[in-house]
Structure 1
């Protein structure tokens, strides 16, 4: 089967057309490349190549104006705006750019469809007058200014377009209007034949230009549509061509070229539902792998991406068997890693503050283009110091003080731009130059990085040129807006052989082109077609009245492109995302439903899911080698603490990682005071308050005298623990007040006990019990125990060992029934193990005499007082014994020795527990 371009050329050849005198006009430049190739294959004689242009180039030539970028139009429009708007009513460039983009788009539509400007602007003004009761005498200033804006819109348009035309410039719509105005003059001065091929939706200017050329017998037009679409009066793929066929005067006497019947030819159509974009990319890779086994060149295969963001995942999924490919869509600059660096810098500077939030600072310091600029890994050291010292907000001076060796680089990254656009641009250029100098040390290895830098240097040069010319960007917000505008439209173009191998393209690049095998991705509602979107100030009913395109027509454009891809194709793979995402795209497209309902082709519809290997998570097992046993002996020599032993009970793997490998948790900035910091502050405060009264009996007056000292001590210890963190606002202030309340409540509880006639004597605070030796049969090396007890006191003559907990603890956590349970369940019995071990060590050191009590003060459960360790007796009806005696410690020692023997048993591995 021949393709559409071949059909057109064969028809012209049969009509003995003089190809050298022809002008071919196509919907896109890309189609021109394929037209030249087909010409070289079909023509059997040497001749001068015909002129081949896109419709945009042809219109630009007719209009005698030069097309201007959207960004530059924005600057020129702002010139018009400030010229016609009184100073008190003007908006700054940043605010202006938000709505001006939409206005320019509406200007474009009005001109492309040759709408009389006065008609449409009068319509819009009348609507706003009605909506805001314009005759109402007491209008607010906002409404008055708003109505003034709509009154001035025709003046803005007239002044803006006149200035552009005087400078021989224009936006696309203005080019079309001027081209239409010039067509009669053009016809009078040409005798060349114009061949229009592959068009579908045409704006009013295009329709009139083509019809004028047809009327003067200076043109031929070839449509690429199917009889199926034209015969079906409601099929959107034939919507525009049906209108042209019925409405154009030319077709009342001239033949309509062409209606083909390719769509109903046999096709293999597979529809695959795939979860997420990455899933679609992997599926495309798998399809290409299968296709390349039969056709390694894949020269008649195209991948059409409904969503440009899928480009990089697809490129990463292309199998090695695909040797040649051509990418017609550029890689968006906004997706390049360097874009995120400038995003971070703008986010830092937009606030125009001398202090920077630590996350913004760290995101810059750890960026892949910045980190290598610091010598000897000093960027990582700097980040670690920020985390360690809880530096939530930093200044440039702070950073330089921490890392003095990199003062110049830190100035480049963190000096304040003073909300000045020129300062910001200069800083960006300097940064690009610094990164370039570093990457140039190994050009071969850093080719891609240097290309990125070149493109961003070009982008900032364009911003500099625009600002030097128009001087509208005054502050960083305005600079950022233009940066984002250019970033969204600029691409990094790929180099390839356009006529060889696999073709990867967007939907619009596929116009006029035919392929035997087509793979189309992202066929979801909201993507293909894009659905209802109204980025316009012109209401829907006004668009209908003036025959401007609405979402209905825009959907019909994509319907035509979708079905055109299918017309001559033999193998079609349609992929859609099964995971509905309303922000990106919804359920499967109506195109898929339509294909199935037409019942013309046999559709193979499958849901693809990634192959997830079904395996049971294996718990980590680490063998106790001689080296591990040696390390354990060293730990035993220094001393096992209660927390290290309960860590083993909780999960032996954690014990291994922490104690043998020395792996600690990653230190991060405590933006909000952490629970362990709160606990440390409360502990230290209580120690400081009671320290002067060691070995003394407490009185009500003594405890009351401690209350005024709470604030000072809490503040001092927070400063010590929380470093540079801010405790004066937000959640931190709440935690600060909670710490004060915890200590106050504890003192009040102490006062209550004393008022009841109880005697309390402080024996020791933060008592260290180091070098407590324990002999275990079977182990012939020294084993020590160590720990720190928060408080030891005498309550009515009974010694109490007290451990403070700022978290919630209830009585069940310090009660046991069976001694065997003590080393088996961390969650239930770790608190009991801890207080018993304190009692055991203090008794061994002869600091505390038996019997004694040991327990926990829970600040979240303070009304319960001291939660004493309790041994419940099942046999005697659940009797509770809170006194720790010699028998208690003998039973505990049995469990303690058993636990330590297990830790040293070379036959028992460190086995991860399923938590």
Structure 2
């Protein structure tokens, strides 16, 4: 395959042109790199390299102006805006930047197309006058300000451009306008310089004037890259601009039009794939590249063209390991690296000045990968201490004084992160720059391990220095919110360049970077309507009809630009894979591009069209097993000596891996601050309140008078225990207030239940409250002592019958405390965990001699108080209505057998801890 650049150089050689004396002007800098590579290939002798520049650089040199960034343009424009707008009518910089961006784009278009600016601005203001009845006597203040804005556009433009020209600066359009004005002088000053323009398509008026002037003076050659299929079809948008140039430029009346080729009609293999979702496209690109590598042995002359450049990272992550040489022409967005999230978080929490910070914001900041190591001072992790303090005390909103008291040795770092952000913008920027230096000093301790992170820091240091310069020079940033907006504007344009093989192997690039370049094999992604082409957009103050009148580009011309780029890629390619998203995403996707439909309707190429999905490997779920070692058995012996609790045993029944994590590895569940009171906290408060009420009554019969006295203390005791358990959490409003009231209601309803029993003539005697037990269990198969331990909520006598009671704040029904088969009590957690617990308590009480069998054991459910005391029961079968509700010797004997079997299983070195599917 011969490329367009190669053909141009051969044509110049054929004419005997000395390449070293030429100035090549191309659409992009990237194309210049490939041009130099081709020059080295076709020349047979050593020569000086010609001058190779992009059109932007050429025009900038011609104009004598320096292009400045879009952000600095906003600052310059705001200065003019303030000078020529009534003070009471001015917007803040933050509000101004939203509409000024659009106006600057319009300025840019007007200048690039050499439109007499006064005419168009007067036209626009006249339109607004007509719309809003400028002759109306009773105009509102809003309409007056609105019309005043439109009348001021020409003034803003003239003053703004004059200020830029005085400083030798310019935005792209102004640079183009001045370059066009200086073209005649350039021709006179450079009568011997020969220019070669190649690969251009859509040209603005300034570019057309410049190129035509050079052509007229025999100082230039132009090589178009257009195929006969496109230029000869008056309806084909890929040839829209070249048809106009060929028809309208006087130069082509007497000179040949170079070139119209016939490459597009040559045989091509075009495969179109509909792929669901963007990530699937990325994965499928990886599959295609792997197949190509296996088939061809290399990926030279292969390019992946990303219609949606947001797919860059997913595509890079999907590249097969077989890809060796790789070049990525797009940079990695700076906004996507971890350090960006740190400053984004800082700006977000400080946008509104406040003396308190939301606990999650504080924890997230302290936990950030670049911040956490800085709090490790003198072998103490102060970040961990602060997070623990916040979580343990349920501090939902942390005030500044509390932050200071939490970690005084780290006060300097805390100042940078949390304090003095509302003093001045100078100090905010100083905080950010100092923070970067602190992070750098930490990373410098091991430079080799943090090379990439140090590169991140350098780029952010540069960015904040630029912010500092803009703030010092213009003084327009008044608050953190405005600074955040400017920061995001600068950040959005910053990228980290990839290192790669620019001329070898696989090329990954965006659509615009592919200009002038040719590849044999192409993979083009995201060929959907709204992406390729981008579709209609009206991000302009200039109405559509006014653009048509003044020959400014509209969405039709912009679509034609995309059409040209797409079809030009296909011209010399032999194998093309086109991917589109079949699923509807937020704003795009679902509808394949018109380019695909057009390819199919043309009937020129053999096209295959399939809907595909990435290969999803069949992953056989593996059972998570932990085999027991001598160390595990030793740990189990220690646990057995201290005592297995009913809750730990039911935890094993539920999932042995959880038991292993919590008891063997001693991994605690992470408890963060409770914004809303958790269920276990509610349960603890209710249990503790009832313990306070009933513990002093041990050995006594209950009476209505005693219970009435206790009811008067409900609010005091519940409040006390909430303060004890929920620490500094707020229970005075929202869901927490509701839960607080529920806790009081639970206690009150329970006391009412007891009072109703007494009124019905029942006698209740409290035997023990919250009694702790630790009893041995004889298991001959084990050569070490085993104990069962636990705390029983309540033991009482009800009309002379001993009851073992367990409180549950959740809802429990009778079926949950009944069993049929003894073997299932240690295997089915959902059905029998409640029965297992109350029988454990009965076993412990019998072994201590505290009770005489038979007894009743069961649960009082605060969400099911109407059921009263829910007794344990043993049914003969699942369908039997008869059940034994006494805990007898026989019942405990059967239970003891299952209990011992369970402990033997836990302590058996040959039975691993196996995760259950729950």
What displacement does 1:73 show?
0.3
1:861–1:504 Cα change, 3 Å: same
Aligned residue for 1:423, secondary structure, equals helix
Q: After TM superposition, list the pairs within 5 Å mapping 1:10-29 onto structure 2.
A: 10-17=10-17, 19=19, 22-29=22-29
Q: Which runs of 5+ in 2 are unaligned?
A: none
Could you state the TM-score of these two structures normalised by the residue count of structure 1? 0.92
1:586–1:761 Cα change, 3 Å: same
Q: After TM superposition, list the pairs within 5 Å mapping 1:283-298 onto structure 2.
A: 283-292=284-293, 298=299
Q: After TM superposition, list the pairs within 5 Å mapping 1:650-799 onto structure 2.
A: 650-768=654-772, 770-776=773-779, 778-779=781-782, 781-799=784-802
Q: Which of 381, 396, 408 is residue 412 of structure 2 equivalent to?
A: 408
Q: Which of 869, 874, 892 is residue 871 of structure 1 equivalent to?
A: 874
Q: After TM superposition, list the pairs within 5 Å mapping 1:368-383 onto structure 2.
A: 368-375=369-376, 376=379, 378=381, 379-383=383-387
Q: Does residue 560 of structure 2 align to residue 560 of structure 1?
A: no
Mapped to 2, the partners of 1:296 and 1:876 lie a distance apart of 71
CA contact (8 A) 2:529 2:588 kept: no
Deviation larger for 431-440 or 185-194: 185-194
Could you state the TM-score of these two structures normalised by the residue count of structure 2? 0.92
Aligned residue for 2:863, secondary structure, equals helix
Q: Deviations over 1:577-616 (max 9, x none)?
A: 4554235644443333333333322234455544433243
CA contact (8 A) 1:760 1:793 kept: yes
- Corresponding position of 2:481: 477
1:631–1:13 Cα change, 3 Å: closer
Q: Which of 438, 449, 464 is residue 442 of structure 2 equivalent to?
A: 438
What displacement does 1:427 show?
0.7
- Corresponding position of 1:155: 155
1:245–1:412 Cα change, 3 Å: same
Deviation larger for 505-514 or 52-61: 52-61
1:294–1:879 Cα change, 3 Å: closer
Mapped to 2, the partners of 1:430 and 1:876 lie a distance apart of 75
Q: Deviations over 1:321-359 (max 9, x none)?
A: 555443332222112222222112212222222222232
CA contact (8 A) 1:354 1:416 kept: no
- Corresponding position of 2:464: 460
What displacement does 1:679 show?
1.0
CA contact (8 A) 2:805 2:859 kept: yes
Deviation larger for 126-135 or 583-592: 126-135
CA contact (8 A) 1:353 1:416 kept: no
- Corresponding position of 2:200: 199
Mapped to 1, the partners of 2:878 and 2:263 lie a distance apart of 91
CA contact (8 A) 1:341 1:364 kept: yes
1:583–1:741 Cα change, 3 Å: farther
Mapped to 2, the partners of 1:828 and 1:725 lie a distance apart of 35
Mapped to 1, the partners of 2:196 and 2:738 lie a distance apart of 77
CA contact (8 A) 2:308 2:525 kept: yes
1:377–1:515 Cα change, 3 Å: farther
Mapped to 2, the partners of 1:640 and 1:407 lie a distance apart of 46
CA contact (8 A) 2:528 2:588 kept: no
What displacement does 1:80 show?
1.2
Mapped to 1, the partners of 2:540 and 2:756 lie a distance apart of 73
Mapped to 1, the partners of 2:717 and 2:146 lie a distance apart of 59
CA contact (8 A) 2:358 2:396 kept: yes
1:143–1:879 Cα change, 3 Å: farther
Q: After TM superposition, list the pairs within 5 Å mapping 1:211-610 onto structure 2.
A: 211-274=212-275, 276-292=277-293, 298-318=299-319, 322-375=323-376, 376=379, 378=381, 379-418=383-422, 420-495=424-499, 498-583=502-587, 585-607=589-611, 609-610=613-614
Mapped to 2, the partners of 1:347 and 1:169 lie a distance apart of 34
Mapped to 1, the partners of 2:878 and 2:525 lie a distance apart of 72
1:496–1:842 Cα change, 3 Å: closer
Mapped to 2, the partners of 1:518 and 1:821 lie a distance apart of 63
Mapped to 1, the partners of 2:28 and 2:804 lie a distance apart of 85
What displacement does 1:426 show?
0.3
1:46–1:627 Cα change, 3 Å: closer
Mapped to 2, the partners of 1:495 and 1:772 lie a distance apart of 69
Deviation larger for 507-516 or 382-391: 382-391
Mapped to 2, the partners of 1:622 and 1:808 lie a distance apart of 34
Aligned residue for 1:445, secondary structure, equals helix
Mapped to 1, the partners of 2:717 and 2:82 lie a distance apart of 61
Mapped to 2, the partners of 1:695 and 1:779 lie a distance apart of 39
Aligned residue for 1:786, secondary structure, equals strand
- Corresponding position of 2:90: 90
Deviation larger for 129-138 or 636-645: 129-138
What displacement does 1:276 show?
4.8
Mapped to 1, the partners of 2:374 and 2:257 lie a distance apart of 66
CA contact (8 A) 2:285 2:523 kept: yes
What is the root-mean-square deviation in Å for CA atoms of aligned residues? 3.0
Mapped to 1, the partners of 2:858 and 2:301 lie a distance apart of 80
Q: Deviations over 1:295-345 (max 9, x none)?
A: 777553333233333334444555565554433322221122222221122
Mapped to 1, the partners of 2:743 and 2:138 lie a distance apart of 57
Q: Which runs of 5+ in 1 are unaligned?
A: none
Q: Does residue 832 of structure 2 align to residue 829 of structure 1?
A: yes
CA contact (8 A) 2:875 2:882 kept: yes
Deviation larger for 570-579 or 661-670: 570-579
1:407–1:218 Cα change, 3 Å: same
- Corresponding position of 2:885: 882
Q: Deviations over 1:405-440 (max 9, x none)?
A: 433333333333125211111011111111222222
- Corresponding position of 1:167: 167
Aligned residue for 2:874, secondary structure, equals strand
What displacement does 1:864 show?
2.4
What displacement does 1:226 show?
0.8
Deviation larger for 543-552 or 502-511: 543-552
Aligned residue for 1:860, secondary structure, equals coil
What displacement does 1:151 show?
3.0
Mapped to 1, the partners of 2:914 and 2:25 lie a distance apart of 74
Mapped to 1, the partners of 2:404 and 2:153 lie a distance apart of 52
What displacement does 1:97 show?
1.4
- Corresponding position of 1:912: 915
1:538–1:865 Cα change, 3 Å: farther
Query: How many pairs are equivalent?
Result: 914
Mapped to 1, the partners of 2:269 and 2:878 lie a distance apart of 79
Mapped to 2, the partners of 1:720 and 1:42 lie a distance apart of 85
What displacement does 1:261 show?
0.6
